[in-house]
Amino acid sequence: AAEDGLNGWLRYARLPGNNTKQAIVPSSIVALNSTETSPVYVAGQELQKGIKGILGKTVDVTSESVDGPSIVVGTIDAFTAAGGDTDVIPELEEDGFWLNTEGDTIEIVGQNECGVLYGVFEYLSLLGQGNFTKVTKATNPSASIRWVNQWDNMDGTIERGFAGLSIFFEKNVTVANTTRVSEYARLLASIRVNGIIVNNVNANPIILSDENMAGLGRIADAMRPWGVRVGISLNFASPQTFGGLSTFGPLDESVIAWWGDITNKLYEKVPDMAGYLVKANSEGQPGPLTYNRTLAEGANLFANAVKPHGGIVMFRAFVYDSVNLNESNWKDDRANAAVDFFRDLDGDFDDNVVVQVKYGPIDFQVREAPSPLFAHLQQTASAIELQVTQEYLGQQCHLVYLPPLWKQILNFDLRVDGEKSVIGTDILSGKRFGKELTGYAAVVNVGHNATWLGSHLAMSNLYAYGWLAWDPTDNEVTILQDWTRLTFGSDKTIIDTITKMSMESWPAYENYTGNLGIQTLTDITGPHYGPNPQSMDNNPWGQWTRADATSIGMDRTVWNGTGFAGQYPSEIAAQFETIETTPEELLLWFHHVPYTHVLSTGATVIQHFYDAHYAGAETAASFPTQWAKLVGLVDPQRFDETLFRLMYQAGHAIVWRDAISQFYHNISSIADERARVGSH
């Protein structure tokens, strides 16, 4: 069962039913033009392994065509050269693939080698789910950047990692044994992720030592066969703190030369390095503003260095002042920071810079309005930053299936210049502003834990991330059910139970942690875990609620508040400007109202707080009972480990419920109509 954890959804568990389906699959795999360590070679091996596991059938892998039916896997060029019929194949874009199971010979044809691998994983996913329907399909990615970020520190700890120590680093050096690194790459390839940043954005310059550069070469070698390109986070001050220069000013000739030299050395070790990720002038990190240079000048410094090598720079928009924000100023607002910093820089970034924007203007909260920065980056490439690691969202001790949260951002239409501008399909696809280089990054933070994320059920979030980055219109329930079949089997009780629990989980978590857009009321100065509503205010972090004895919420209107609503294109700005047209789930994100303000349900804000917290805790309390239906259907180890987590969640949801309800009861002195709160 430990194996089951490590393989995640790639278990290739034997289908029930006496191998009757073996005949459906040809007995040979022809892997065209595959050299060992190439993705096509790996694809052939994976196919062989999967068919053996799923159907108990042994198939050969060759590189020559065979007599009789086979599974042909190869790039479109190799397929054409081998005399394959390409007339029927629709146009494939980079990383796209064609899968045809209609005939006796099964065709898996990729636009490139990654595409081949993705096609093989798709075919295995169908077999693994016992789905033998004939398919003929071509599919292409919605965006070219489908990356994950790891916040791994060089000492082996992981910032906001909840699943053990780093698989990449220990004691300030890269690990010698890259077994888990390639296993991780395999999982990533199966969800079509094509890049990874391996070290924390709060970057330690020691990543640039000769020893670590050599180690990055080994990491890249381990991931390359799976089509996953490696990149690193940089510390802006490295030329000074690590290189011994007197400055790290981005326009200084010696600094430019230093980065050029470092970059060339890195590309010697990692010839296909994906690029750099940079967090600058944020939360104490150094950056160009120190030298009165713009963020664009800072980003372009690295863009110039990687450009000759074909690399890109992901430059984070998470820039804000965490020292001087002052809550006594009604107009101060951290949410304004990203647009304030980046708006006037549109057009100043080199074309291989991608601005990486967190989904909301604050910080991975349970509910946020979408970042308005996406509307302002019209000449600049952009990518969205999501979190699979559940920093504010229960840290994998709580089941929270995140795609419904992500989709509510991805599906949002920003109406730029009055035209359809849906974040996923129009903006991140590059279509709306004519961009080639756009996409997705998710902070994942897997660790040495045998389940990768510390919890079996949390893996559905990683799985779904890959699918949504490929196609943001994919249905979150379909994705979840595919994942469930592959991970736990196709029994109807399993599917129904995990679907119900997962789809209830984000609403429940929002109910017991922070309602109506007030954010996750957690301990924001510390671990971001557990309830601590009083920690939100009276500090410069800017995750304020402005709760007092009579009223609550951030007034972000233009007419009377921080003006944040005005950062959206006019149609959306107008919607958020008034209470009447603001969606209720974002009421307190945009408006400051009395606790007695009446919602559409007829309940007051305060009564809604009480009711929602009780409802959320009640849903969480039902999870262990729901899961218990799977006894005997899921192997004992995964059954028990999951039950343990869900029982813990049920208890912790009560802690949340009581802490939050009691806190607002105390400061508002308003009784709970149902007499549950404050009665002890």
CB 108 within 8 A of CB 99: yes
Work out how close the CB of 541 gets to ligand GCW at its nearest, in angstroms, rounded to a whole number: 9
Task: Give the CA-trace dihedral at 60, 63, 67, 73, to 10 degrees.
Answer: 80
Three-state DSSP state, 433: coil
Task: Check residue 218 for interaction with ligand GCW (CB under 6 A).
Answer: no
Task: Identify which range of 199-207, 263-271, 294-302, 332-340 contacts ligand GCW by CB under 6 A.
Answer: 199-207
Query: Residue with CB nearest ligand GCW?
Result: 363
Identified binder of ligand GCW from the candidate list 229, 279, 307, 407, rule CB under 6 A? 279
Please, which residues have CB within 8 angstroms of residue 607's CB and are 6 or more apart in sequence? 672, 673
Q: How many residues make contact with ligand GCW (CB under 6 A)? A: 9
Instruction: Tell me if residue 283 is catalytic.
Output: yes
CB 209 within 8 A of CB 174: no
Residues 436-465 vs ligand GCW: string with x where CB under 6 A? ------------------------------
309-328 residues near ligand GCW, rule: CB under 6 A: 318
CB 93 within 8 A of CB 111: yes
Q: How far apart are CA 578 and CA 563, in angstroms?
A: 12
Nearer to ligand GCW, 539 or 622 (CB): 539
Task: Check residue 202 for interaction with ligand GCW (CB under 6 A).
Answer: yes
Residues 145-174 vs ligand GCW: string with x where CB under 6 A? ------x-------xx--------------
Angle at 533 between CA 455 and CA 385, to 5 degrees: 50
* Tokens found for residue 619: 């849903």
Nearer to ligand GCW, 38 or 445 (CB): 445
Q: How far apart are CA 439 and CA 141, in angstroms?
A: 10
Work out how close the CB of 383 gets to ligand GCW at its nearest, in angstroms, rounded to a whole number: 14
Nearer to ligand GCW, 356 or 438 (CB): 356
With 0-12 CB in 10 A as exposed, 13-18 as middle and 19+ as buried, what is 626? Answer: middle
Q: Looking up tokens 């509910």, which residue turns up?
A: 367
Task: Check residue 57 for interaction with ligand GCW (CB under 6 A).
Answer: no
From 4, 363, 426, 577, the catalytic residue? 363
Work out how close the CB of 370 gets to ligand GCW at its nearest, in angstroms, rounded to a whole number: 17
What is the number of helices (H) and of strands (E) in the chain?
Answer: 19, 18
CB 668 within 8 A of CB 548: no
Three-state DSSP state, 477: helix
592-631 residues near ligand GCW, rule: CB under 6 A: none
Q: Please give the full DSSP string across 337-363, using - where no structure is assigned.
A: HHHHHHGGGTTTS-TTEEEEEESSSSS
Nearer to ligand GCW, 151 or 610 (CB): 151
Nearer to ligand GCW, 136 or 539 (CB): 539
Nearer to ligand GCW, 151 or 512 (CB): 151
Nearer to ligand GCW, 366 or 634 (CB): 366
Work out how close the CB of 173 gets to ligand GCW at its nearest, in angstroms, rounded to a whole number: 21
* CA 544 to mean position of chain CA atoms: 25
Task: Identify which range of 47-55, 165-173, 194-202, 649-657 contacts ligand GCW by CB under 6 A.
Answer: 194-202
Work out how close the CB of 200 gets to ligand GCW at its nearest, in angstroms, rounded to a whole number: 6
Alpha-carbon torsion 573, 578, 581, 586, what sign?
positive
Q: How far apart are CA 354 and CA 362, in angstroms?
A: 20
Which of 360, 381, 374 minimizes the C-alpha distance to 423?
374
Q: Which residues pair with 106 in a beta bridge?
A: 71
Task: Check residue 201 for interaction with ligand GCW (CB under 6 A).
Answer: yes
Residues 335-374 vs ligand GCW: string with x where CB under 6 A? ----------------------------x-----------
Reported as type and span, the H/E element at residue 118 is helix 113-128
Nearer to ligand GCW, 159 or 221 (CB): 159
Which of 657, 674, 652 minimizes the C-alpha distance to 511?
657
Instruction: Tell me if residue 391 is catalytic.
Output: yes
Q: How far apart are CA 116 and CA 136, in angstroms?
A: 15
Work out how close the CB of 295 gets to ligand GCW at its nearest, in angstroms, rounded to a whole number: 15
Q: How far apart are CA 480 and CA 397, in angstroms?
A: 19
Q: At 385, which amino acid appears?
A: E
Instruction: Tell me if residue 523 is catalytic.
Output: no
Parallel, antiparallel, or unpaired for β 195-197 and 275-278? unpaired
Q: Could you tell me the end-to-end alpha-carbon distance of the chain, in angstroms, rounded to an integer?
A: 45
Work out how close the CB of 399 gets to ligand GCW at its nearest, in angstroms, rounded to a whole number: 22
Q: How far apart are CA 454 and CA 143, in angstroms?
A: 29
Work out how close the CB of 197 gets to ligand GCW at its nearest, in angstroms, rounded to a whole number: 12
Q: At 404, which amino acid appears?
A: P
Work out how close the CB of 517 gets to ligand GCW at its nearest, in angstroms, rounded to a whole number: 18
Work out how close the CB of 616 gets to ligand GCW at its nearest, in angstroms, rounded to a whole number: 23
Task: Give the CA-trace dihedral at 113, 143, 264, 316, to 10 degrees.
Answer: -150
Nearer to ligand GCW, 224 or 279 (CB): 279
Nearer to ligand GCW, 363 or 476 (CB): 363
Work out how close the CB of 524 gets to ligand GCW at its nearest, in angstroms, rounded to a whole number: 8
Q: Looking up tokens 């972000």, which residue turns up?
A: 556
Nearer to ligand GCW, 31 or 384 (CB): 384
CB 287 within 8 A of CB 295: yes
From 391, 510, 611, 641, the catalytic residue? 391
List phi, psi (to 5°) of 561.
-120, -145
From 283, 346, 351, 584, the catalytic residue? 283
Task: Identify which range of 198-206, 376-384, 480-488, 501-509 contacts ligand GCW by CB under 6 A.
Answer: 198-206
Residues with a catalytic annotation lie at 283, 363, 391
Under the rule (CB under 6 A), what is the footprint of ligand GCW? Answer: 151, 159-160, 200-202, 279, 318, 363
